[in-house]
Amino acid sequence: MRRLPAVAEKPVARRTALAVAGLTCAAACSAVAGPAATVAAGGDQGAQPAAYSQTVRADEPQDGSAGDRSAADGKSDGKQSDDGNSDDKPSRDKLIPHGVQGYQSRIDLDDDQRDNAREIVRVARKLDMGQRGAVIGVATSLQESKLRNLGHLGAWNDHDSLGLFQQRPSSGWGSPDQVTDRDYSAGAFFDGLKRIDGWRDLPLTDAAQRVQVSAYPFAYAQWEDQAADIVQDVWSR
């Protein structure tokens, strides 16, 4: 998968302005507190995910790799699969157990973006990813699409990247209709995350990068604080 360039909309040395309504995009990036943080065009997603079943759960293995991985990966890091799936308001130590890395970006969200964030959190709960998994998912989508379920943007699309996580059908993430289905795309991301040994103990940007395989692996770190705020706000709603 290669993704649509995505970066902060607040003052940050790296910047990509995306005008979805006009289906236009202008991209520019520069260094920020380390490696560049935009997701540039070119290359392939390395995760090679199996097609995600919308009914698959961590405790319901299916025929094929997705379900088998879900059953195995709940034990892969020596922890229970639920690291905080209760209805209680999440604590910051559950949401950001390692602290944030580097400069933190923040954008104002409209109703559509908030609804997309709620959907990612809902799928995280359904798949027993816990509060930390939800933060990783929301932060990844903030970087990839600014929490917008993007369709094809013509010449500005990063290859055939689509949806909340800019997943590429040509790289095995599913059909265009599937990866622009919010439940499917979030589930596919979390299925990939489950396959990462010890993902709960990784810094957010490392966990996200191992699923997304971005050309700019430090891009995800900037969204951790806002993602934690979002998850804390919508977790029990």
Give 41: exposed, middle or buried? Use CB within 10 Å, 0-12, 13-18, 19+.
middle
Q: How confident is the model at residue 90 (pLDDT cuts 50, 70, 90)?
A: confident
The mean pLDDT of the chain is: 73
Rounded to an integer, the average pLDDT of 207-232 is 94
CA 138 to centroid of chain Cα atoms: 5
pTM over 0.75: no
pLDDT at position 91 is: 78
Q: Which of 42 and 124 is assigned the larger pLDDT? A: 124
| 34-78 pLDDT, tens digit each | 333 333 333 334 444 544 434 333 333 333 333 333 333 333 343
pLDDT at position 3 is: 44
Give pairs for 225-228: CB < 8 Å, separation 24+: 225/96, 225/100, 225/104, 225/106, 226/104, 226/105, 226/106, 226/107, 226/139, 226/142, 227/135, 227/136, 227/138, 227/139, 227/142, 228/92, 228/95, 228/96, 228/135
pLDDT at position 215 is: 82
pLDDT at position 153 is: 76
Q: Residue 21: pLDDT above 80?
A: no
| 138-158 pLDDT, tens digit each | 999 999 999 999 998 766 666
Q: Which of 124 and 27 is assigned the larger pLDDT? A: 124
Question: What tokens does 99 get?
Answer: 């602290």
| H/E run at residue 184 | helix 182-194
Give 145: exposed, middle or buried? Use CB within 10 Å, 0-12, 13-18, 19+.
buried
Residue type, 184: Y
| 189-217 pLDDT, tens digit each | 999 999 999 999 999 999 999 999 988 88
pLDDT at position 155 is: 65
pLDDT at position 8 is: 39
Q: String of b and e for 182-210 (b: at least 16 CB within 10 Å)?
A: bebbbbbbbbbbbbbeebbebbbbbbbbb
Q: Residue 12: pLDDT above 50?
A: no
Q: Which of 98 and 67 is assigned the larger pLDDT? A: 98
State what percent of residues in the chain have pLDDT above 70.
61
